[in-house]
Structure 1
Amino acid sequence: MNLDPASSGFLFTIKGCDRWQVYRRLCELEISCSCAAHQPLIVHIESTIALVQLWSVMRQAIIPRQVLVDWLEDCWKCRF
């Protein structure tokens, strides 16, 4: 992840299919972003909430599913 000072956006270099998945989800969340073919995903963060949503979407796309399942199970164990 890099901050692009010219556009005040974050640049993300992630796999093609993951990039489009993240792009679509960010659009659903109404977070300003752009993604052209063979180009990095550019995300413009305008609030703290948008930053947390971006973190969550990126985490779901990048971290292996089993790691997320284990993390969720650990959360449930701590709760009860």
Structure 2
Amino acid sequence: FMQYAMQIIFSFLMLSAMFILIPRASVSAQRIDEVLKVEPAIKDPENPRHFQGEIKGTVEFKNVSFRYLGAEEDAIKNISFKALP
């Protein structure tokens, strides 16, 4: 009897958890949909120019950190990378 009672109680707990999680998932899905529908501000040019010859140079960042204005913590901390052509 106790085992059946525990299964029923557990089922009600799972059901109540679903009622909490479904609205959250719905709001999250709506937000993701909004983000995916945003048109990019930067458009590719209709007639891009192609570089002639060899491209040289590198861009390197060492231990770079970034914090949004008014934030208490860094969004990116001590990141390093090198971009090659």
Same fold (TM over 0.5): no
Q: TM-score, normalised by structure 2?
A: 0.22
Q: TM-score, normalised by structure 1?
A: 0.23
